[in-house]
Structure 1
Amino acid sequence: MEQQERALAAYVDSVRGEPGALGVVLVGSVAQGRERADSDVDVYLVVDDARFEAETAAGRFAWVERRDADYPGSYIDIKLVSPSYLRAAVERADDPTRASFLGARVAWSELPDLGDTVARIATLPDEVWDERVRSHVAQARLHGGYFLRQATERGDEFLRRHAGLHLALAAARAALAANRVMLPGPKYISKLVRAVSTPEGFVAAWERVVDDPDTASGAELLRVLDAWLGDGLSPGDTLSTFIRDNELHWLRGGVPAEFW
């Protein structure tokens, strides 16, 4: 909307010429064209690596400016990034970071390739998506077929809820990956799992696990998930994939699959 564009332009004018400032990338609802009249303006402020190192060493990663300066309820929500940060994000960013760049628009830049770099962050090749599907199916099988069963046998209420939540998360992540959809964060899972294409019975089975995880609801969700996405993932592959992406994630320099 016009008021957000004016606010963005005023912010860009305010940071041009700052030491180390290299660009401003508009993200969030305004960049994606789904803002409300009172929506804030979300941006990444791109600075050189020296300023990024100095700012983050002081604990300054994000802040708010121009509160109520441009229209009622307005503010600029700023996150700090650098060229090195952006290059690393292309290679190994998690889903919330990648998803934050979906629909991003470069508002100002001293870097000729900034737009291309930003676009690459929000894109994953098919082979990565396919491996994500396999990983999340493996997660679902272990949490639903092993840990949830153990929880029921032992009467362990914490483990029952933990296994059920992780089964639901893994099944949802597999469904999103199959549809090439990134996960911006946990608060979006319930909406996205109902919005993407899934086989008949998947959402109902998923909801039952969320509401009351037990061996019966877990087995039904796994049945639907395996019939849809489980081909080619043997029991041996399942266990090795789970171990690789959980117990050995530290050795590979990454994070567990649920945080991708």
Structure 2
Amino acid sequence: MAYPLEGITLRAHHKDSIDYLAGKLSLDPSILAIIIAGSVAKGIAREDSDIDCYLVVSDEMFEEKKRQDQLFYFAKEGCDYTGGYFDGKIIPYHFLEAAALRGSEPTRASFEKAFVAFSQIPGVDDLVAKIPVYPEKNREKNFQDFFAQVELYGGYFANRAIETGNEYLLIYSIGQVTLFAGRLLLAYNRVLFPCHKSMMAVLRTLTHIPERYFELQEDMLLNTNRETIRAFVECIRSFHAWGIAPHEAVSRFILNNEWNWLEDEPPLSDR
């Protein structure tokens, strides 16, 4: 097996499955590298955990798979254990370069402790290691942008939703407050935002976090009213000077939420 195992704890059946995948796909010249990620790479996999992976392919194969809407890899063959399968994404080499340079936090986080199981590309290990790095240059701006979301959704939009009986807007607003409060604390601790599914688990590992944060968050989510929302927002507001005053948050919100199409394509939700 080509990949380094030092410092990586693998269950025997996961290692056997990875060996199988590498042996099989290495025969295909369009497969340039196999990168193992997820819980298996982190050494926290359950007995029945699937195996997350990135398949680095030639540009020609990537474009073909993209045209076919088949930028995923799913296979049970070779995973001879209960619940086992390969859950992969198909990427070109320049995806790795872009991820190291300007990847989103969830993309960066997906490469945490990832390792190369097979490669035809010299130096790909070093490139993969550069991806899961907290983007320090974004931190101060993130403080301001994320706090503006907490202020507007936890203030104006939540209040309007309660006043008008707009349940959709209320649910959406407290979801956004929860998300961006979490994003603020992750940024404060210089920890990558993993994804929505994993955010709460990662938040519980943080060193610096407001007192009663999870208690206040749960109260807001389960007993949603002006008082519980206000208490949660205040615990974030008073935790740190986020670099933007509440009255400035409106302007920042307009730029990020309403005029975000000016320089780039509108986000999917606004197309």
Aligned residue identity for 1:212: N
Residue deviations 1:82-125 (CA, integer Å, cap 9, x gap):
11222222344333322211110011112223223222221123
Do the aligned residues in 1 keep the contact of 2:79 with 2:86 (CA within 8 Å)? Answer: no
TM-score by structure 1 length?
A: 0.89
Correspondence for 2:135 among 125, 128, 147? 125
Instruction: Find out whether 1:23 has 2:56 as its counterpart.
Output: no
Aligned ranges 1:240-251 → 2 under 5 Å:
240-251=251-262
Aligned residue identity for 1:218: I
Aligned ranges 1:80-119 → 2 under 5 Å:
80-119=90-129
Aligned residue identity for 2:32: L
Partner of 2:7: none
Residue deviations 1:191-234 (CA, integer Å, cap 9, x gap):
33333231213222222221133222222122111111344312
Deviation at 1:24, TM superposition (A): 0.5
SS in 1 for 2:134: coil
CA shift in 2, pair 1:72/1:211, >3 Å: closer
Instruction: Find out whether 1:238 has 2:249 as its counterpart.
Output: yes
Aligned ranges 1:179-194 → 2 under 5 Å:
179-194=189-204
Correspondence for 1:32 among 26, 33, 42? 42
Aligned residues: 257
In 2, Cα distance between equivalents of 1:49 and 1:123: 26
Uncovered stretches (5+) of structure 2, i.e. residues with no partner: 1-10
Correspondence for 2:153 among 140, 143, 161? 143
SS in 2 for 1:246: helix
Partner of 1:172: 182
Aligned residue identity for 1:9: D
In 2, Cα distance between equivalents of 1:210 and 1:26: 36
Uncovered stretches (5+) of structure 1, i.e. residues with no partner: none
Deviation at 1:255, TM superposition (A): 7.2
CA shift in 2, pair 1:168/1:95, >3 Å: same
CA shift in 2, pair 1:219/1:24, >3 Å: same
Deviation at 1:39, TM superposition (A): 2.2
Residue deviations 1:44-69 (CA, integer Å, cap 9, x gap):
11012111111121121112224365
Partner of 1:61: 71
Range moving further from structure 2, 168-177 or 244-253: 244-253
Instruction: Find out whether 1:253 has 2:260 as its counterpart.
Output: no
In 2, Cα distance between equivalents of 1:75 and 1:155: 45
Deviation at 1:162, TM superposition (A): 1.8
Q: Percent identity?
A: 32
